[in-house]
Amino acid sequence: MRTIRDKPTTVRTDLLPVLAGVAVAISGVGVALALADVRSPLRAPFILFFVFAGPACGIAAVLSRPAPAARAVTAAAGALVIDLLVAQTRSSLHTLTVGGGIIAVAAITALLFLWALGRQIRKPELTNPADRLMKGIKKIRSGRFRIRPLK
């Protein structure tokens, strides 16, 4: 007899997408509070989460080969470097504002995610095998691989 414990739970199977959605929501609220200049006790923690987690997730998406622990350490260090470089650049240009720093970090994060997306699109082994089979059949029918009789 099957019991409830025999079935995989939704919490275990769908935990990563749920956590990603929560992270995006927290980051979005923080950015909205900062850009609207709303005084709230949640503003600082949410912005710090966005400034650190955004570039870290972007770097982790770009790095696909290392082990998960190495990828996490590299992503955390890279996020810290990105934040410090943004702050140093804006400070040296005398344009240090909250909104400008957030926009700069968001732009860098978006570029990292676009880079990762571009790498995923270009990988032929990640395409659907049925699509590759149909492309091969079309090449054969087009005459590119015509079998010539032996002489």
If you write DSSP's letter for every residue of 53-119 in order, what string do you get?
HHHHHHHHHH--SS-HHHHHHHHHHHHHHHHHHHHHHHHHTT---HHHHHHHHHHHHHHHHHHHHHH
Q: What is the mean pLDDT of the chain?
A: 81
Q: Which residues does 115 contact at the CB level (< 8 Å), separation at least 6?
A: 62
Which has more pLDDT, 81 or 149? 81
Burial class of residue 106, CB neighbours in 10 A (0-12, 13-18, 19+): middle
Reported confidence tier of residue 68, pLDDT bands at 50, 70, 90: confident
| pLDDT higher than 80, residue 59 | yes
| pLDDT higher than 60, residue 144 | no
Reported confidence tier of residue 143, pLDDT bands at 50, 70, 90: low
